[in-house]
Structure 1
Amino acid sequence: MAVIAANVETYLHNKAFAAMKQDHQHIPESDRVDQTQKSGDDEGGNLEASMTPDLETRRLLLLPPIVADAEQIQRIFPQWEIVKYLGKVVPWPYPPDGAMTFLRDQMLPSMKRGDGWAWTIRLKAAPARIIGFISLHNREETHRGFWIVPEHQGQGLMTEACNAVTDFWFNTLNMLVLRVPKAVPNIGSRRISEKQGMRLLRTEERDFVSGRYTAEIWEITAKEWNARR
């Protein structure tokens, strides 16, 4: 009986998981990011691969954001433990329309242009719930950013997400180097860079939501990344 119950639970979970992905794909035209293909290279990248795909890891589903995600993000993002080491560009206190403004006016247009790629982070065990966000940007020295809700920090989930999008950066977009800045007190983020085999390039002063700190710039090249895989 235990085996039958386990099989039924697995079946129901997989059915719900598939339905959630299908619902996310069949979104209104007004919410959809029209990521037309572009030609040309920038910083060694192949922007013909500008479409942002769904990504999966052992425990996570990474889905490109849509406008409808703003409501959920607005509920979970404005927490001090999330924002304190993010760049000063993040408004604080966070405005009531902050998530909508970010998605509608910044992230989704960047994805449409093909110079940004982003994903909401969800547990496969609870795919309807957003627990974090991760993005890539084709701009100088700030190529990746991320956050995850406090209750899911310290579980290796962000490392999984970072590995998936870093592989996408190098082996789908064909970028040559990944550089990420982080505040020195942000130990958790530093550990992810260390796990990924990145090296400290230099330090500089930068402004963050919680104040001005020494920032570390970490780097890894495509050759170094693929040698570790």
Structure 2
Amino acid sequence: MQRVIPPDFTIQTARCLLRRPIAADLPHVFAATRFAGFYDGMPGEPAATMDELEGALPESWREWDEGITYGMTIADLTTNTLLGRVGIRKTSRVDEWNLGFWTHPEHQGQGYMTEAVSAILTFGFEELGAIKIVASYALWNKSSRRVLEKVGMKFIAYIPHAFKKQEYWVEANKMSMTRREWLLLGSGDR
């Protein structure tokens, strides 16, 4: 049985604090989505207005409370600067979760996301009881691929029609890690 994760739950890494999103995060999220190309590797389109983004926040809290999705803001541990978002969502398969993430363009290439994804894997396997965690990235997104490889995820499938962007299909690769693989990497020794 999955345990209930309280709204004030946090995860601390060497440089980051992962926490449930709050309204004060939204201007930073909105600013990130305004960078050219930022949303190209994600399904859907970014919020067109701050009001639209604000309207989505209660839905993310509801999904947290219901144990469907745990979307977390990644903040700098010392300055509280928003660095990005990471989340883990229950799939239709028993004990399988899907993770997704993005880094604010001003903070990319500094290793924050590798820290955050490693922490979310630990959260998934230890707190949520996941047996398998999967993630996908747009084929051209080499940075996301590197993050997933660094944390030990392995390629499992090529998806030629992962999602549509405007009228074009985006190709993706799917990666995964099982609890057993995670334990073999020594990740369960923390």
- CA change 1:98–1:226 in 2 (3 A) is farther
Q: 2:69 aligns with which of 110, 113, 116?
A: 116
- CA change 1:159–1:179 in 2 (3 A) is same
**Count of aligned pairs:** 180
Q: 2:54 aligns with which of 84, 96, 100?
A: 100
- The answer on 1:83 being equivalent to 2:36 is no
How much does 1:131 deviate?
A: 2.0
Equivalences for 1:175-194 in 2 at 5 Å?
175-194=130-149
TM-score by length of 1: 0.71
Q: Distance in 1 between matches of 2:141 and 2:86?
A: 16
C-alpha contact (below 8 Å) 1:132/1:146 kept by paired residues: yes
- Structure with bigger strand share is 2
- CA change 1:198–1:215 in 2 (3 A) is same
Equivalences for 1:51-200 in 2 at 5 Å?
51=6, 53-88=9-44, 91-92=45-46, 94-105=48-59, 107-127=60-80, 129-140=81-92, 143-200=98-155
- CA change 1:201–1:104 in 2 (3 A) is same
Unaligned runs of 5+ in 2: none
Letter in 2 for 1:113: E
Partner of 2:181: 224
Q: Distance in 2 between matches of 1:153 and 1:69?
A: 18
Residue identity (%): 26
How much does 1:110 deviate?
A: 0.5
Deviations 1:57-97 (A, max 9, x none): 11111121123433442233332343110112xx2473332
RMSD of Structure 2 on Structure 1 (CA): 2.1
- CA change 1:209–1:67 in 2 (3 A) is farther
- Structure with bigger helix share is 1
Q: Distance in 2 between matches of 1:152 and 1:71?
A: 16
TM-score by length of 2: 0.85
Q: Secondary structure at the match of 1:192?
A: helix
Higher radius of gyration, 1 or 2: 1
Partner of 1:25: none
Unaligned runs of 5+ in 1: 1-45
